[in-house]
Amino acid sequence: MATDEILSSEEAAALRAAPTGGTGFGPEGQVVDVHADHWERIPTGRAPALDSIAERVSSLLKTSARRLLRRPVEVSPRAGRMERWGAYARRLTAPSSLTVIDVRPRNTKGVICIDGEFVFTLADLFFGGTGRAARPAMLPELTPVEIRLVRRFVAAVAADLREAWKPFLELDFHLGNTEMNPVFAAVAGGSEPMAVQTIDLSVAGRDFSFDIVLPGSLVEPIRFLREAGHSGRRDADPARWEARLTADVQDARVRLRAVLGRTEITLRDLVDARPGDIIPMDIPSSLVLYAGDTPLLEGTFGTCQGSNAVRITKPANRTTVGEKYGTSQLD
């Protein structure tokens, strides 16, 4: 295939030409700033547990938002994503409410971001309005009343987050400052990855959304976890597996050994020993059967059907032998 069939001469010249618009290389000898977001790799692995947490938050928020706004609210989560904090903060619109949340005991910070239009609707609904009015252009910043109402809403979201994360991690979310400038609500370095979960709400015939932004370090412990299920089922599983494991272990076959006697001699006597020498020792009235180095049973030495044998008298370790064989059958 000829080269001109793939690219025309004009296209080839355009590709060879220096890029314009400040997005390519600068003139020779001049240093061009490159933001770190351009070079660092953004993790793309999905964490199924995050999807489960988002579903739980949405389900809980339907009740808490209805109680706060006193009207039906439809809530649905979007697919979560990993994004650099710097890139995310640069896209925020003004005014926006950025409420910092302290994640304990992880000693990290997240943020719940709500745009100004949703904040205005929250205030309108709280004071008996229809929620259909648009935010006036003359309000470039959030009012103290709006900030106070936003914190009530965010407090409800934080409580729902605590319950949603409980099946996976025991976390507590405490409200910090509420800012409108991302610079003052910086919860991470510009290049640090953050888990961004967008929640869509439909209330009073209008659609809104807000973001729950948590540090990417919270994702790693649960990245490979699956759905945790309901709390009652989780509480029952350990007991069920413990019972099955106990039964299986008690039916396992182990090799036993018995020590018939012990004595102590000097190293000199051991070195001078010759074939035919006799080492005296005391034979105990009872001996112990071991599994490895763990004492299990006590008994007396004898013979049975022409073979050496031990008649069991009592368990040497009731905790190890267990209730089934140690207490009921050997006493």
Domains and CATH numbers, the chain: 48-231 (3.40.1550.10), 253-267+280-327 (2.30.330)
pLDDT band for position 251 (50/70/90)? confident
Residue 43 has pLDDT above 50, yes or no: no
pLDDT for res 21: 45
Predicted confidence at residue 32, as pLDDT, reads 55
Per-residue model confidence as pLDDT tens digits over 171-197? 888 888 888 777 777 777 778 888 888
Mean pLDDT of the 271-298 span: 84
Residue 290 has pLDDT above 80, yes or no: yes
pLDDT band at 31 (very low <50, low <70, confident <90, very high): low
**Residue 146: per-residue pLDDT:** 82
Query: Which of these, 179, 171, 176, lies nearest to 195 by C-alpha position?
Result: 171
Report the range of poorest mean pLDDT among 39-48, 70-79, 98-107, 204-213.
39-48
Most confident of 30-44, 147-161, 311-325: 147-161
Average pLDDT for 124-132 = 75
Other C-beta atoms closer than 10 Å to the C-beta of 329 total 11
Q: How far apart are CA 112 and CA 150, in angstroms?
A: 10
What is the 3 state secondary structure string of 68-104?
HHCCCCEEEECCCEEEEHHHHHHCCCCCEEEEEEEEE
Is the entire prediction scored with pTM above 0.75? no
Is 70 exceeded by the pLDDT of residue 81? yes
pLDDT attached to residue 36: 47
Name the most confidently modeled range: 3-17, 236-250, 281-295. Answer: 281-295
- Model confidence at 74, pLDDT cuts 50, 70, 90, reads confident
The pLDDT, as a whole number, for residue 41 is: 43
pLDDT of 134 strictly over 80: no
Ramachandran sector of residue 60 (left: φ over 0; alpha: ψ -120 to 50; beta: rest): alpha
